Amino acid sequence: MTILKTFLANKKGNNIISKAFFSEESFFYLYALLKDRQGKAMPCLNEKKMALLGFISKEKKKDLDKGLEKTKESVFKKLSRAVVGKSKVDDEVLDQLEEVLISSDVGVDTTIRIIERIEARVASDKYLNTSELNKILSEEIASLLEENTSGELNDFDTELPARPYIIMVVGVNGVGKTTTIAKLAYQYKNAGKSVILGAADTFRAAAVDQLEVWSERVDVKLIKQAMGSDPASVAYDTVQSALKGNIDVAIIDTAGRLHNKANLMNELAKIKKVMAKVIPDAPHEVLLILDGSTGQNAFEQAKQFTLSTEVTSLAITKLDGTAKGGVVIGISDQFKIPVKYIGVGEKLEHLQVFNRHEFVDSLFS
């Protein structure tokens, strides 16, 4: 029996994976990964694998380009107006550029940092042509984003730092929290990892039902209790189930809003405390979901949640429906928290691991 058939035979009974779930390309990719992990040579597959990986990468980049289309169009129109009739980057051009960045929801403080960097380059080079402005701006933004990264995460098939890897998801209602959890589950599962979900948002009406619908659609197990149950109890059961079931990733939803900030802070602290009883360093990641289409409101949401709990990573959603994609740059810079995922469309595969170079390239290419 081939390695892939063995894998499928072992997993099918556990309902973790089915042929219908994977595309032909995904089957081949999984096959290649499994062969690699067994340490066997693949002389007949290496070229095909590389070609497939290239195809997948191009498709992802195409989705990213499309998702940032509105932001790119807005920024380029404003930049064009800023440099019209100008041959070199001077104070007037920099003033115009400042307005472009602020109006693109990059944020005042981050805009000032970017302008200062460009001013330093103008002073150093003495003369900079306005035609070089896009290149300079993209380089400085990429450099700024690099300062707030915890290291490049290549993709969902990257080896996890812990197993089970526990992700606690926070964020206000309406930012796409439930759908982002579903997309995370889909992407991790599509990368060959087993996933379990925990419905610990027991305060909001229909929150558990919504997550249950998504868990069935993605075909992953859901741990839930009745509406109004203790969220910490749900989180505890989820982590226990992940540990006993030898699951790779556990994603736990939490309440988006309680009666006041103190209640929210206490609730999240309690959830973290009970998870740590099962796995001492859990949760391994506290993921804050922000709606990119809200622009400056996303800054306020980030501010409130970082005061309520320790946030270790960010996912910024709904970038495809807005011209406010600059918020990714500003939030990452201001809160010194890495943007780990971005949502560039409605489909399950449209949640991407954030790559700063590809993001900047999509904006300025």
pLDDT tens string, the chain, 365 residues long: the values are 344 444 444 444 444 344 334 444 444 444 444 444 444 444 444 444 444 344 446 777 787 777 777 777 777 677 767 666 667 777 888 888 888 888 888 889 999 999 998 888 878 776 666 677 778 888 888 888 887 665 555 578 888 999 999 999 999 888 889 999 999 999 999 999 999 999 999 888 788 999 999 999 999 999 999 888 999 999 999 999 999 999 999 999 998 775 567 788 888 899 999 999 999 999 999 999 999 888 888 888 888 888 888 899 999 998 887 777 788 888 888 888 888 999 888 889 889 888 888 888 887 77
pLDDT given at position 240: 96
Residues 6+ apart with CB under 8 A from 16: 189, 194, 219
Please give the model's pTM, rounded to 2 decimal places.
0.78
H/E element, 263: helix 261-278
Residues 6+ apart with CB under 8 A from 123: none
Provide the Cα torsion 115, 153, 302, 359; round to 10°.
40
pLDDT given at position 327: 87
H/E element, 33: helix 24-37
215: left (phi over 0), alpha (psi -120 to 50) or beta: alpha
Backbone angles phi, psi at 26, to 5 degrees: -65, -40
pLDDT given at position 301: 85
279 token code pair: 């796995």
Position 72: which residue type? K
CA gap 88, 122 in Å, rounded = 10
Cα-to-chain-centroid distance, residue 349:
12
CA gap 270, 294 in Å, rounded = 30
Angle 205-206-210 (CA atoms, 0-180°, nearest 5)?
150
DSSP state of 156: T
CA gap 199, 327 in Å, rounded = 29
Radius of gyration of the chain (CA): 22
Report CA-CA distances (Å) from 204 to 106, 169, 172, 175.
32, 15, 11, 14
Report the DSSP pairing between strands 249-253 and 165-170.
parallel
Q: Are 150 and 287 in contact (CB under 8 A)?
A: no
Tell which residue, 197, 199, 170, has the closest CA to residue 184.
197
> Is residue 351 packed enough to be buried (19+ CB in 10 Å), middle (13-18) or exposed (0-12)?
buried
Tell which residue, 269, 267, 285, 182, has the closest CA to residue 229.
267
CA gap 289, 310 in Å, rounded = 13
269 token code pair: 């602290």
Report the DSSP pairing between strands 339-343 and 351-353.
antiparallel
36 token code pair: 């690699």
pLDDT given at position 6: 44
CA gap 48, 188 in Å, rounded = 23
pLDDT given at position 258: 54
pLDDT given at position 84: 63
Q: Are 275 and 237 in contact (CB under 8 A)?
A: no
